[in-house]
Every structure is written in C-alpha cells, then in structure tokens.
Structure 1
C-alpha cells in the first residue's frame, strides 16, 4: 500500500534511519546506516587446482535500495496529540521536508509554516469536503474516522497532509514519518540527549526548570510558575528539554524561529547518531525501537530499509538547512494565516527544476546556520 495508512513497525536494521526521519518532530532517512542483515555471499567453490587459476567470480545480489538513485522527497511531521481532551484531533505542529537530489550525495531540509494558507483537497475517507485553510488542519481533518470519532487515525491524516503538501510544492513525496511529542522525548533520551547551539535566549511557556509542566492560570501565556530558560551557547539537552526548546514559538520571529530550531535539532540528532555509530550497535538500536513504540508511524511506498541503504552516505555536513521567509495574511484586521514571500516560493521552483544550489547562492540568507 503506497500511502494512506500503511503502518510498518520499525525493524532493527533501519532504526538509525527512522530516528532521524522523525523530528519533532521530527524526522526520515538522513542518518548514515549500514544494512547488516543481508546474507553474506556464498564462498567460492570448485576452484581449479592449477597454480595459475583464479577463483570463479561470485555473483552478488545488490542490497535492497541500491536501485534508488533519487531525487527523493521525504515528509516529516510532528503532531500534537492531547489524549486527555475528548475528540481532540492531531495537529501538524511541525512540517519538514527533506529533498535529496539525484545522486543522493546531499540533502536540503526546510520547513513549511503550520499556519501556511493552502488549498486542502477533498478527502472522502474522513468525510472532508476540502477548503482553503491552514496547513496544520490537513492533519486534523484527515485524521477523522467517521465511524470512530473518538479514535483519530494519524496515518490517515498524514495522507491528506501529504496530498496537500505535494500540491502546494509541486513535489512528489516518496515516504514520510509521523512522530508524537511523547515519542520525541523518548527518542532523544534513548540517544543520551543531544548537543545543540542555542542561537538566542528562549524562555519556556510550558516547563519549569525541573521539567514539570507549568500549571494553567492567568500568567504569561496562560500558565503560572517558574519558567525554564535556555541561554545562548552550546547546550546538552535531554528529551524534555530538546522538545521544549524546539516547540517554543512566542519568540522574536515567531513560528519561523521555531522552524529554524526544528531544523537545527534534526541536524543535532543526526550528529548524535553518527557519533554513537548507532546503526552498528544492535542493543542500542533495540532500545531506540522500544522507546518509540506506537509514537511513530512510517508511511512509504518502499520498505524503510531500502531508503536507509540509499541514503547511507548523507551526513550533517552534506545537509543544508533552509529557512523559507513568509508573512502574515489577514482580512479586516483578523489574522488568517501565513504565506511564503516570492523568494520563498521561488525556492520551491528552483527545487523542482534542479537548480537549488544556484538559487541559494543568489539568496544566501535562506541558508540557516547549524
């Protein structure tokens, strides 16, 4: 089943790939991984006894994914699920795309604003008629199951989000992943935390310095109590800290700042996985798989192990973070959402036409520092 709800459990050989794919959200397939489960080639037999004879050539079977040459587009989604709220539908709080050009030697990671105004197509599976609204609503509207309203389906929601993003960007999406906030916490902790450069002072609206959630109230942002603060500089963050830092959007730059922090965190995760050589440590990989559990949904037309092999040469140094500029859209003084500026929209055109490097050279401010 290509898209629309095909849920695959993570396997040992590809967990390193998946952990990066799912950032918070986030994020699919940028970690260097080794496909170690393929069967070894058979030993040569019937070698001639002549001293000048050479062993007969041994036929080898290409590993799964060796035929994938690109380009590839992977959609990475972080969702906000509030299981304590009746009939709550998951929202797409982070929408990231990884574009890997033909040759698979480099990648470009960019975010789309959750409030981006888009045309969402009709989706009969969820009894949704379609409309022009915020991108985040594609996930929530698509997740509804008509005969099971209290049990939304994130994989089904991903399908509507995938269609919406594909139509907006003009890019075919080959695979993707959905990760809940709780899953992201577990992912980072299973890796022993991440090292990230905090680029500006961030004061949390949601957490106290001890990690406890701030209580609802009339205080700043509807919460009361002491606030966790992330000071500029190199920081080592555990699971709840990484998630808390990345989800703050009431900052100078608003949601665009949060998108930048999402991307930086993806790169930090990749660096952690490579530094630990995670894919070569079966016990560590098992721990990651166990930690994620049902918090992760992979959706793709091909097996995730195939993408893992195809993208095994990517590294943090070959991953370019791109920030797409946008602006608020309103009518009658009322905020309706966001739209990309002409520079942001033309980046998508350059991506489709295979001239992204030249475009980024012309617009260097689009490149986000790591």
Structure 2
C-alpha cells in the first residue's frame, strides 16, 4: 500500500530513487515463498507492522499488525486481510524456538525479530493457510508516522468514541484530519471498543486507504523537494522482500489500485478464553477464506461473506 501510494506520482523516477533508500531482506521462509518471477496476478503479499527499528534484533518484538494483501488477477482490486494478533496457531520450530501452540503475534518474537522473526511468522501463516507469498514488507510504525505527516495528515472517520490508553487523547465520533502521531495512536487502540481487536483491524485498514486517498489529492509531482522527502521516508519505513521482482515492476503492477477498489477483510473467527488466557479461534469460514485466496474465487467469497468485508 505504501508503494501504491507513491505509484500515483510516477514510476521510473520513484523506482530509481527508492532503490537507493530501500532495505532489502529475505523476509519469507522458503516454505512460504512462491517460485514465481512475474506479477501477472494474483499477487499475495505479507505485510507486518512492528516497532522494530533498522538493525534492532532485541527481544519483545511482537507484531501489532499482520496483513495478507491479496490482489486478484487483473490487478484492479485488492483485499487487505487482517490476521488477528491473538489467533491461536501452531508455530513451527525455528530461530531457536522448539515449536508449539501460541498466539500468532508471538511468532515474530520467537524467531528473534527482524528477518528471522518475519521468516518464522511467514512459515506459521503458510502452515495455517496454505498460502505462499510473492513478497513481504516489514513496516516500522515510527517511520510510518513521518510518511503521514509529509502527506499533510490523513482524513479518518471515527465511528465510536475511542480513548487512548497510551496518551490523554480522546477521539470523538465524526470525520476529522489526523497527523501521524494521532492516526497511529488511533489505529492501535482496541480496549473498550465494541468489537475489540476486530475494530482495531478495521481502523488499520482504513488508515492504509486514507493514505492512498491523501496521496491522490496532493501535488507531489510539482514539489520535488517534498517528493524526495516522501520517498526517503517510505524507504526508511519499509524493509522489503520482492522475491527478486524489480521495484519498478512492482510499482507498475500496483498503480491501478485506489480506495474505490480496495476491501478490508477480517478472518472469520471468535474470541475464547482458554486457561484464563484470551485467544482468537478460527471459525469454519476461515479456511474457506484461505481457500479463496489460494484460488481465484476471492470476489465470490467476499460477496457471500459480507459481514467480514468492509469498503475502505
């Protein structure tokens, strides 16, 4: 989505500049990686958000955001599938971890964070879903805040009052403009929300859509200084694994996406307390969703399961 955000202001110049700022790592485990070298579609990307800084390999690096980005053949529509952070899964052995059952957001930590953590997380997801990925991106939230500020903020519509547990902010219902700090604070809240973590997932999906919409409204082409700063900020925010695909080709493939063609998807699931610990368990429809992503029937699945789908 960040790459698609930049794609609206040009391809060649962005690719050349972005190649010089990007951090590249092998984020996907071999078991989770496709053997494709094209972008004809469908495309499946793993998107992971954390507070990790470049070079940070310390402990306690759980992931706040896990998204599967699915773009069907034709590359004109997209689905942002949020994986619940508390989803109970079987994590395979890796990175010194012997393997076992736990919440999916611990896989990144058990792998040691960074590249190894992303690999263990991707292996966990592939084992659960059967989905193999065409690439992956690791997003640093602090850098994302800078990107939002350079865009001049984003417009977010608050549906129910949200009180931050991190600051003294209160987000009142209604559409409003937020700067980077406000937007990231808002989308990381889940306590006291009617839908808990499911509402948080929706808010994160809306933020990505709002960033894409904001970019389409700005005049970055006519402001080379601002464009350079934005490219630098995006480059500093992302660690990318394109599976060998040139960034220019990826930008070209994504440039047709817009908020009008993007859908937010939640995995059919339900919360359950096990041994005084709160988990999320898959519903039967969860495997149906993963099957649709692996095949070519995602639009049909979305039409038949509207309760789990929202427009950005």
Q: TM-score, normalised by structure 1?
A: 0.71
More moved, 344-353 vs 266-275: 344-353
* Residues 289, 245 of structure 1: alpha-carbon distance in 2 compared, 3 angstrom cutoff: same
Deviations 1:38-84 (A, max 9, x none): 9xxxxxxxxxxxxxxxxxxxxxxxxxxx952111111111113499x
Structure 2 residue corresponding to 1:117, chosen from 88, 93, 102: 88
Aligned with 1:160: secondary structure? helix
Number of the residue aligned with 2:11: 35
- Give the structure 1 partner of residue 142 of structure 2: 182
| Structure 2: distance between partners of 1:103 and 1:30 | 19
1-side partners of 2:216 and 2:229: how far apart? 16
**1:128 aligned partner:** 97
In 2, distance between residues paired with 1:67 and 1:279? Answer: 29
Larger radius of gyration: 1
Could you tell me how far 1:31 is from its partner in structure 2? 5.6
Aligned to 2:171: 230
Note the C-alpha offset of 1:292. Answer: 4.9
> What is the alpha-carbon distance in structure 2 between the residues aligned to residue 74 and residue 241 of structure 1?
27
| Matches of 1:114 and 1:269, distance apart in 2 | 23
Tell me the SS of whatever aligns to 1:249: coil
1:257 Cα offset (Å): 0.8
What is the Cα deviation at residue 294 of structure 1?
Answer: 4.3
Q: State how far apart, in whole Å, the 2-side matches of 1:157 and 1:92 are.
A: 10
Which structure 1 residue ranges, 4+ long, deviate > 6 Å from structure 2?
Answer: none
Aligned residues, how many? 286
Per-residue CA deviation, residues 281-315 of structure 1 (Å, 9 max, x unaligned), is: 54323212333564431122123222111111111
Aligned to 2:190: 249
Q: 2:131 aligns with which of 156, 171, 176?
A: 171
Deviation of 1:238 after TM superposition, in Å, equals 0.1
8 A contact 2:103–2:279 mirrored in 1: yes
Q: Do 1:81 and 1:88's aligned partners in 2 also have CA atoms closer than 8 Å?
A: no
Residue of structure 1 in register with 2:45 after alignment: 74
Partners of 1:31 and 1:311 within 8 A in 2: no
Aligned partner of 2:203 in structure 1 is: 261
Aligned counterparts of 2:310 and 2:221: Cα–Cα separation in 1: 28
* Equivalent residue number for residue 216 of structure 2: 274
Pairing partner for 2:269 from 326, 330, 337: 326
User: CA offset at residue 268 of structure 1?
Assistant: 0.4
The 1-side partners of 2:115 and 2:207 are apart by 24
CA distance in 2, matches of 1:339, 1:279: 46
Q: CA RMSD in A?
A: 2.6
Distance 1:69 1:362, change over 3 A: same
Q: Residue 100 of structure 1 is aligned with which of 66, 71, 78?
A: 71
Query: Which among 300, 305, 312 is matched to residue 255 of structure 2?
Result: 312
Distance of 1:30 and 1:293 partners within structure 2 = 13
Structure 1, residues 287-346: CA drift from partner, whole Å, max 9, x if none? 1233356443112212322211111111111111112232123334x2252112222332
Conservation of the 8 A alpha-carbon contact between 1:177 and 1:299: yes
Q: What CA distance in whole angstroms lies between the structure 2 residues aligned with 1:108 and 1:358?
A: 13
2:279 is the alignment partner of 1:358:
no
TM-score by length of 2: 0.83
**Following superposition of structure 1 onto structure 2, how do residues 132-211 of structure 1 map, counting pairs within 5 Å?**
132-142=101-111, 144=112, 153-207=113-167
Richer in helix (by share): 2
| Gap regions ≥5 residues in structure 2 | 15-36
How far apart, CA to CA, are the structure 1 residues paired with 2:101 and 2:247?
Answer: 33
Asked if 2 retains the 8 angstrom alpha-carbon contact of 1:31 and 1:314, the reply is no
Q: Secondary structure at the match of 1:329?
A: strand
2:61 — aligned with what? Answer: 90
Task: Tell me the distance in 2 between the aligned counterparts of 1:277 and 1:70.
Answer: 30
Following the alignment from structure 2 to structure 1, what is the Cα–Cα distance between the partners of residues 301 and 234?
38
Distance 2:219 2:250 in 1: 18
